[in-house]
Amino acid sequence: MNETAHALSTSRTLWELVARRAALTPDRPVLLQDDRRLTFGELCERAERVAAGLYDRGVRPGTVVAWQLPTRIETALLSFALARLGAVQTPIIPFYRDREVGFALRESKAEFFAVPGTWRGHDHTAMARRLGARGIFEVYGADGLPDGDPAVLPPPPAEGTSVRWIYWTSGTTSDPKGVLHTDRSLIAGGSCLAHALRLSAHDVGSIAFPYAHIGGPDYTVMLLLYGFPAVMFEHFALPDALEGYRRHGVTVAGGSTAFYAMFLAEQRKRPGAPVVPTLRLLAGGGAPKPPEMYHSVVREMGVQLTHGYGMTEVPMITMGSPDDSAEHLATTEGRPPDGMEIRIVDGEVRLRGEAVCQGYLNPDQTAEAFDEEGFFITGDLGRLTGSGHLVLTGRLKDVIIRKGENISAKEIEDLLHKHPAVQDVAVIGLPDAERGERVCAVIEQPPGAEQLTLSAVGSYLRGEGLSVHKLPEQLEVVDALPRNETLRKVLKYKLRERYSGTVK
């Protein structure tokens, strides 16, 4: 991290970070979207006006404000306006519907709720009224933002250790958890990302995931530390989004393993012609990547790939760096920054550091999430190498116990990802009266591939050296694996629900 970025990373609050960057480089762009451009100076100035408009409506320091907005410049302005006020904001992924949104509004006790009106065919305002939300207001564009005179504003927050953010874990078979963050925990997470990627003021990034995701502030902190812009995509789909990447000269793209796969698929349509000529780095996190994904990106796209490890509770834990070895970039999740302690207890990853959340809205959940020494219990399995790199070996709940033997789903997935007829794969354990659990591989194949059979998969895995007792006993070939709408992570619980009653 350069000296300027290091100095900025000591900012006590997000608003202090915005103001310091605006004073340094007021005319440099920070956010680009379609034909629009917002500079660091304009971000600071306009966010203060929005904060004044919110203050006129009754928003005060500590007021809980929920917002469910797409990835737009206006969303960032509203979020930083709330940071200027010292309000408590609770971002909600825009794809969530009545159950998740209603739960978040009730649990957070939100006094205001910002919505985009009708977005992608869904009437968010009607849903908000149906749920009995308080203080509903629409943010549908620049004209929809509150506006006022900054002279009415109280001083900005003086410290960044109070809880001012409530993020929501993805609800699966149970209700989501409200994750409590501070300005300082978000700055620490973004600093980790910035430090690892070795970016400069000459780079152009991209935000192609929901800004309401924990990755929103993570990425924006990096922009503020290094003074470079990012292109915002309200809806990410390839090849449609490629025009935006090319027009703005994006140098750093990514989001998650699924994003890498989508870029690779586009590259394979025209081998040898760079899919985005200016692109030099793919970076992301969200879910472990198969080693073969790294090699394919470097070989076929001619760009570097660095991958990291984070979660809603700890936005950035480790990150690969462009100066890591190819072996480390392919097989690990990178190293932690200074200040992030990683401890492996009985194979499970535990964490302590400034980027770790303060806990959950529910005190009982907080008590269960931390051990007696204050380490956060992740539920992920892994090990540390001699060089300090973290290798994730799976989720505790993804360990398949077959006839008393522990089997790693990730080990099988990594091997199958190398098969040319496999585009993506999820390996799950299914209830089995005789074996306890049986191994089931659910495979998504690339267009035109010959359909795989269970015997062919077994032969391939044996050839790769997989032990016989780990071989899949059930194969399902699907058109598309079920994924969430944020970082496109595969939803294994849906596969378990779908196939638990099947035996092949």
Closest CA to 290 of 419, 388, 479, 381: 419
The two three-digit tokens of residue 365, written as one number: 């959940």
CATH entry, 403-499, from 3.40.190.10, 3.30.1280.10, 3.30.300.30, 3.55.50.30: 3.30.300.30
Mean pLDDT confidence for 407-418: 91
Cα–Cα distance for residue pair 284/308, rounded to 1 Å:
6
Q: Secondary structure of 241-295 in the HEC alphabet?
A: CHHHHHHCCCCEEEEEHHHHHHHHHHHHHCCCCCCCCCCCEEEEECCCCCHHHHH
Ranking 203-212, 383-392, 407-416 by mean pLDDT, the lowest is: 407-416
Cα–Cα distance for residue pair 480/490, rounded to 1 Å:
10
| Confidence grade of residue 18 (pLDDT, cut at 50, 70, 90) | very high
| Confidence grade of residue 191 (pLDDT, cut at 50, 70, 90) | very high
Q: Model-level pTM?
A: 0.86
> What one-character-per-residue DSSP string does 3-33 give?
HHHHHHTT-SSHHHHHHHHHHH-TTSEEEEE
Cα–Cα distance for residue pair 227/25, rounded to 1 Å:
7
Mean pLDDT confidence for 336-342: 92
The two three-digit tokens of residue 318, written as one number: 């480790």
Q: Are 30 and 39 in contact (CB under 8 A)?
A: yes
46-55, 134-143, 403-412, range with greatest mean pLDDT: 46-55
Q: Where in the chain is the domain with CATH 3.30.300.30?
A: 403-499
Mean pLDDT of the chain: 93
Mean pLDDT confidence for 278-298: 90
33-56 pLDDT tens trace? 999 999 999 999 999 999 999 999
Give the architecture-level CATH label for domain 3-184: 3-Layer(aba) Sandwich (3.40)
Cα–Cα distance for residue pair 419/403, rounded to 1 Å:
28
- Looking only at the bridges linking them, the beta strands covering 405-408 and 399-402 are antiparallel
pLDDT score of 172 more than 70: no
Name the percent of the chain lying above pLDDT 70.
98
DSSP 297: I
Q: Where in the chain is the domain with CATH 3.40.50.980?
A: 3-184
| Confidence grade of residue 475 (pLDDT, cut at 50, 70, 90) | very high
pLDDT at 469: 86
pLDDT at 502: 66
pLDDT at 255: 85
Closest CA to 310 of 394, 218, 210, 195: 218
Cα–Cα distance for residue pair 362/4, rounded to 1 Å:
39
